[in-house]
Amino acid sequence: MALGDTTRLSLLSRLCEGRPLSISQLTEGTRLTRQGVTKHLAILERAHIVAKRRVGRESQYSVRPESLSEASDYLSRASRQWDQAIARLERLLEE
Amino acid sequence: MALGDTTRLSLLSRLCEGRPLSISQLTEGTRLTRQGVTKHLAILERAHIVAKRRVGRESQYSVRPESLSEASDYLSRASRQWDQAIARLERLLEE
DNA sequence: CATTTGCGCAACCTCCTGGTTGCGTGTGAG
DNA sequence: CTCACACGCAACCAGGAGGTTGCGCAAATG
């Protein structure tokens, strides 16, 4: 679950401000290493939540707005799984 | 999260049939070792979802009905966390 | 040109979860 | 008494997540 991590959610929120940011820029403001941030960005990219674009020597990341609805779907599916666990439990309770 | 595991939920459902079951009885029907089941039961016991009672050479486990509502609360809190993640995401979408 | 900056890659580390194996002990059955 | 069964304890293992370190390379800077 790419969005189950608060670090990634906060990186995503930085990107949601609009302008693309490089890895180093995204690293500022976190207590992580550049490599740590890189890994999280790779995960977000694999999930098609974020896009990478090489500009000169920088890797600029930007959010893919069209993907946010998918992300939202993903999260609500996750939420629904818990709802189902509750439902199962409540069925058990009735028996 | 004691109930976030499908193995534990299925053990719990076995116990919800009513009669107390020993570890060996609970192990039948799973593809796990007795020790694996024992660990899961210990987790359920620590979470006060299940009660252990030594009867002769057996350890009989039974579900604590009064705890199931707490368990349900717990699960809905988990579900709510995902809902909050969705909400956060949707706020970001608006900005 | 030399130096700095921004990266990518790979190895490594720690912690947690789910799971197994080995062994010792108490209990019940014959 | 003897033996098999049910269990507890502890050590161990594999995999994945989150993170860091070390190194090398390409682009910008002066």
Distance from CA of B33 to the nearest CA of A (A): 25
H or E stretch including B57?
A: none
Does position A84 have pLDDT exceeding 80, yes or no?
A: no
Residues in chain B: 95
Partner A contacted by B55 (CB < 8 A): no
- In this prediction, residue B42 carries a pLDDT of 97
Please identify, in words, the CATH class of the domain defined by B6-94: mainly alpha
Across B16-28, b (16+ Cβ under 10 Å) vs e yields beeebbebeebbe
A10 in contact with nucleic chain C (CB within 7 A): no
A88 touches chain B (CB under 8 A): yes
> What parts of chain B have a pLDDT lower than 70?
1, 70-72, 74-95
Residue A23 · residue A57 · CB < 8 Å: no
Task: List protein-proximal bases of chain D (any atom < 7 A from a CB).
Answer: 5-11, 17-22, 26-28
Exposure string over B51-71, b if 16+ CB within 10 A, otherwise e: eeeeeeeebbbebeeebbeeb
Distance CA B43, CA B52 (A): 12
Distance of CA A11 to the CA centre of its chain: 8
- Give residue A86's pLDDT band: very low, low, confident or very high (50, 70, 90): low
Which pLDDT does position B4 carry in this prediction?
A: 76
- The residue of chain B with its CA nearest to that of A18 is B95
Work out the pLDDT band at A3, boundaries 50, 70, 90: confident
Record: contact A89-B82, CB cut-off 8 A? no
Tokens of A91: 């069925």
